[in-house]
């Protein structure tokens, strides 16, 4: 059993293979957090709490009477709520019918359940194998408002993962209103932490920031209606000296695709609190008697061995217990997408030409991107009219797919279902289906408006139209795009006192539509996209086993983007393509080999007009396609190690800025070392890399040379000198 309860002392302990999480129902029924960190057996950590009168304007609950040593403003709490004397950041807040703002839940009961809990209407981790998870449910209730909180803990003990979620239930006959409902809070009694988060912008997502957790409140958040390019819903708290291979690290990743917040506060006592969950300006959720609100899931992981172990645990749990369907562990097709090849200027014969060229390179799938439907010749018209434009294509969709299939390729297609142009039949028929504030001009993004995904009729239309397209031809891949931040939060179907629920209801509606479609078409590979990486989050991975990592296809920029992505997300989820040079986003020219090596740290594909390649380029592209297919099981199924960071300069000034990463097979018989130089200087210093994850007693062959695993890991490997513009190399080590 991973969950242990000391009923007499009301201490709850969760063990995973390498970590322990502990809290207790303390005096007066308040839940006190005791510990999260390296595994500790057979010990209550209650002794760590030192109660005293802080004489610091920290008040005491009424139950405590004259005891000034018991203050919710200074004690470590398991799920902090507002209005109880705790002046720090809270995880939940509520209003009763009188407008009184207090939420004072007390311990009521608990239950241990076999298996992993599910969250109706929300994505969450699940058991891939029977018996690999347990659930702890701890029930609290506010005795005055009768708002019940069920704190859910999912435990994947062997995978070192704990999940958190909360179910709020109104047990009274009166209306209650949630004004804050986050998924979890964790209090650390002591420690000097850094906060690591992943910020950016469109075409430069998931750049790494590492800052001290200082006194005060630090917030990482998105209010864009999506998890966003600007801030990913994953943060890490770590020791000051933590690195890839050493130090305590705590990961927190929200399984949600809408607006969110992660807040970290170092308080007056030196404690550090983290809370995380759904958050946006104006969040409210009305609960009538008997109604429930369920938070999204937060996936937590502790590593005592640095960032690499933390990442491996997230990669493993997401590949096996978050991604679903026929494609979750299957070999992904190597594809050609026509977007950067043609943009809107294409027809059926042009796509067939590209398919013929792709077949000659050994590719598996042609994807027809934006521009195939309605009056869609630019990005100002046509969205919402999901009818193939046979006049533009010069043939029916079915005929086009058949012709592509004859060339030996599967066929995929692009949709942007959540958006609509005002120049469209859908908008003219249903202008009330969009998010739009009454009496005001709409806010537009990329010339488009957002459909109200909280509406059943909107979702039904999209389900019917997408199904009609997928049923009309042998479509085996769907790219699901979404190209703007959301605003104008108003729906005519919601009363005034429920408009604050709309951003969350939008996400729930999106998940409902995705669930219907992915269940109906289990053999279709769905790839998520939001202008690239604007919705690269665990929530979307539940429906899309791969996500387009960034609209930036420049190989050198991708080194940073994919490096930051790797902290939480597995390589098999990272959509990455080889594009033309000079690159359309940066104007940079990089060698084809470098572009291919960068794209191999993902799903691999091409985003260019293959018909314009010369013979030498075709031969090289075919060679790298074959190389990727050879190594794909190792790349997608192996352990990923970050060796040299693109965010750091190694060696003395003037040395080449090299990025290096490695894949190691589960049985440690194979390793693939990849390295790319972001810049080259004259007379560079030598660069030595220590490989990781090998069997130190095994011999590994590289060409004619033999090395022991111990030599490669502790002595290192000398990279051959790099010359030219942006060179890259791969080195395959195989057990001898």
Name the residues annotated as catalytic.
537, 617
Distance CA 479, CA 672 (A): 29
Q: How far, rounded to the nearest angstrom, does the alpha carbon of residue 260 sit from its chain's CA centroid? A: 12
Q: Are 251 and 236 in contact (CB under 8 A)?
A: yes
Element (H, E) at 286: strand 285-287
The DSSP-derived string for 583-608 is: -TTT-----HHHHHHHHTTTT-EEES
Provide the CB-side half-sphere exposure for 241 (13 A, CA): 2
Look at the alpha carbons of 555, 557, 558, 560 in this order and tell me if their dihedral is positive or negative: positive
Distance CA 328, CA 305 (A): 28
Q: Are 220 and 202 in contact (CB under 8 A)?
A: no
Nearest CA-CA partner of 374 in 419, 412, 339, 434: 419
The DSSP-derived string for 311-348 is: HHHHHHHHHHHT--STTSSSPPPPEEE-HHHHTT---H
CB atoms within 10 A of CB 132: 17
382 burial (CB, 10 Å; 0-12 / 13-18 / 19+) is: buried
Distances, alpha carbon 319 to alpha carbons 36, 289, 312, 480, 549, in Å: 25, 39, 11, 20, 16
**H helices present in 422-475, as ranges:** 425-429, 456-472
Nearest CA-CA partner of 151 in 44, 234, 78, 72: 78
- Phi first, then psi, for residue 219 (nearest 5°) are -125, 130
């Amino acid at each position: 059993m991973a969950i242990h309860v000391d009923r007499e002392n009301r201490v709850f302990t969760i063990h995973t293979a390498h970590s322990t999480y502990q809290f207790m129902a303390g005096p007066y029924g308040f839940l006190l957090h005791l510990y999260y960190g390296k595994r500790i057996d057979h010990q209550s950590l209650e002794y760590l709490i030192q109660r005293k009168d802080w004489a610091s304007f920290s008040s005491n609950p009424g139950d405590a009477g004259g005891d000034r040593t018991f203050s919710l403003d200074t004690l470590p709490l398991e799920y902090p709520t507002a209005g109880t004397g705790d002046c720090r950041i809270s995880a939940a807040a509520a209003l009763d019918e009188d407008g009184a703002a207090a939420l004072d839940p007390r311990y009521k009961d608990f239950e241990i359940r076999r298996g992993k809990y599910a969250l109706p209407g929300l994505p969450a981790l699940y058991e891939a194998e029977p018996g690999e998870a347990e659930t702890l449910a701890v029930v609290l209730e506010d005795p005055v408002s009768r708002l019940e909180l069920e704190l859910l803990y999912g435990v994947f003990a062997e995978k070192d993962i704990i999940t958190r979620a909360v179910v709020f239930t109104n047990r009274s006959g009166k209306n209650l209103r949630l004004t804050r409902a986050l998924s979890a809070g964790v209090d650390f009694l002591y420690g000097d932490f850094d906060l690591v988060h992943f910020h950016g912008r469109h075409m430069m997502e998931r750049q790494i920031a590492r800052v001290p957790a200082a006194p005060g409140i630090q917030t990482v958040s998105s209010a864009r209606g999506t998890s966003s390019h600007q801030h990913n819903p994953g943060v890490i708290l770590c020791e000051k000296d933590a690195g890839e291979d050493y130090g305590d690290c705590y990961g927190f990743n929200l399984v949600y695709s809408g607006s969110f917040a992660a807040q970290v506060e170092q308080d007056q006592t030196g404690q550090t609190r983290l809370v995380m969950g759904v958050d946006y300006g104006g969040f409210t959720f009305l609960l009538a008697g008997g109604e429930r609100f369920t938070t999204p899931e937060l996936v937590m992981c502790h590593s005592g061995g640095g960032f690499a172990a933390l990442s491996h645990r997230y990669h493993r749990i997401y590949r096996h217990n978050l991604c679903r369907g026929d494609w979750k562990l299957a070999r992904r097709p190597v594809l050609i997408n026509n977007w950067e090849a043609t943009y809107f200027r294409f027809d059926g014969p042009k796509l067939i030409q590209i398919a013929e060229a792709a077949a000659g390179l050994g590719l598996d799938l042609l994807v027809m991107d934006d521009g195939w439907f309605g009056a869609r010749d630019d990005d100002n018209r046509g969205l919402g009219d999901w009818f193939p434009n046979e006049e533009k294509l010069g043939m029916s969709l079915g005929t086009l797919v058949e012709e592509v299939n004859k060339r030996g390729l599967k066929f995929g297609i692009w949709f942007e279902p959540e958006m609509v142009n005002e120049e469209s039949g859908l908008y003219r028929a249903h202008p009330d289906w969009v998010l739009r504030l009454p009496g005001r001009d709409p806010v537009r993004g990329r010339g488009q408006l957002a459909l109200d995904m909280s509406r059943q009729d909107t979702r039904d239309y999209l389900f019917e139209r997408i199904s009609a397209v997928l049923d009309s031809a042998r479509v085996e891949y769907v790219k699901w795009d979404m190209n703007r931040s959301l605003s104008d939060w108003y729906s005519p179907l919601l009363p005034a006192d429920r408009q604050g629920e709309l951003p969350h209801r939008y996400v729930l509606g999106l998940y409902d539509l995705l669930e219907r479609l992915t269940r109906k078409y289990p053999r279709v590979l769905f790839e998520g996209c939001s202008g690239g990486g604007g919705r690269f989050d665990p929530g979307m991975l539940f429906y899309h086993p791969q996500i387009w990592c960034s609209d930036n296809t420049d190989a050198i920029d991708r080194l940073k983007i994919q490096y930051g992505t790797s902290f939480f997300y597995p390589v098999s989820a990272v959509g990455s393509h080889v594009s033309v040079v000079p690159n359309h986003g940066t104007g940079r020219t990089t060698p084809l080999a470098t572009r291919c090596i960068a794209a191999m740290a993902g799903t691999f594909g091409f985003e260019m007009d293959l018909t314009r390649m010369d013979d030498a380029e075709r031969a090289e592209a075919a060679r790298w396609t074959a190389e990727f297919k050879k190594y794909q099981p190792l790349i997608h199924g192996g352990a990923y190690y970050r060796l040299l960071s693109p965010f750091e300069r190694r060696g003395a000034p003037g040395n080449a800025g090299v990025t290096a990463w490695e894949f190691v097979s589960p049985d440690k018989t194979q390793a693939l070392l990849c390295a790319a130089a972001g810049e080259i200087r004259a007379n560079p210093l030598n660069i030595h890399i220590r490989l990781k994850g090998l069997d130190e007693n095994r011999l590994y062959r590289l060409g004619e040379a033999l090395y022991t695993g111990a030599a490669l890991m502790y002595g290192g490997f000398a990279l051959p000198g790099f010359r030219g513009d942006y060179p890259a190399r791969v080195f395959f080590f195989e057990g001898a």
